[in-house]
Amino acid sequence: MKEMTAFFERYEEEFFMRTTVYPSVSYSEKLNRELLKGEQDSSGWVRWQAVLQESPIDWELLEKEIGFELREEIKEYYSSYFFYLVNARIGNIRVYLRALSNLKDVHEGVIFGAIYGGMAFPERQCLEIGSASIDGDDGYSIFVDNETGKVFCQEFDTMRKIEVADSIGSMFEKMGG
């Protein structure tokens, strides 16, 4: 997905300019070493970078498990890159995309996303892909509607819904580090 590629090419520097640190993850022996840049620092954190994901995914099996076929763009999202938690912004929306650092994360991300999406929207086929904070309220979940491809945030205490983008690709085009 070219929009993801463009985003990850600029993400590290934009994130550093905003926070004065690079995207990092708490060090653990279980981390995917392909994503790590350097050694852990004195606080136990290590920089990471997104890496092209080239492992085959059994979409037929995953779609059977979740009970519906996924649109191509959703499959591209889950099969393009391995990455740790993405902390980005779209205007006043702070976006947190769930880590997809290995095939197990991808499999669990699709299953969990479909389960949570099905509980939240039983009449639709939605996948939860992360969370968001809007104007200081961090109770939002980010969903992709499998039928329309639209990305939106939903806060369930207030039932406030915010449209984020017309597609996953346009979400990545809008996101800044």
| pLDDT at 99 > cutoff 90 | yes
Using DSSP bridges, classify how beta strands 24-26 and 36-37 pair: parallel, antiparallel or unpaired: unpaired
Between the alpha carbon of residue 159 and those of residues 109, 139, 156, the distances in Å are 24, 10, 5
pLDDT tens by residue, 26-80: 999 999 999 999 899 999 999 999 999 999 999 999 999 999 999 999 999 999 9
Stretch 104-122: mean pLDDT, rounded?
Answer: 96
| Mean per-residue pLDDT of the chain | 94
What pLDDT band is residue 152 in, cutting at 50, 70 and 90?
Answer: very high
The confidence score (pLDDT) of residue 21 equals 87
Q: Report residue 168's pLDDT band, with 50, 70 and 90 as the boundaries.
A: very high
Whether the per-residue pLDDT at 177 is higher than 80: the answer is no
| Domains of the chain listed by start with CATH number | 52-174 (3.40.1580.20)
Higher pLDDT, 159 or 145: 145
* Four-point Cα dihedral 90, 88, 128, 104, nearest 10: 160
pLDDT band at 1 (very low <50, low <70, confident <90, very high): confident
- pLDDT exceeds 90 at position 18: no
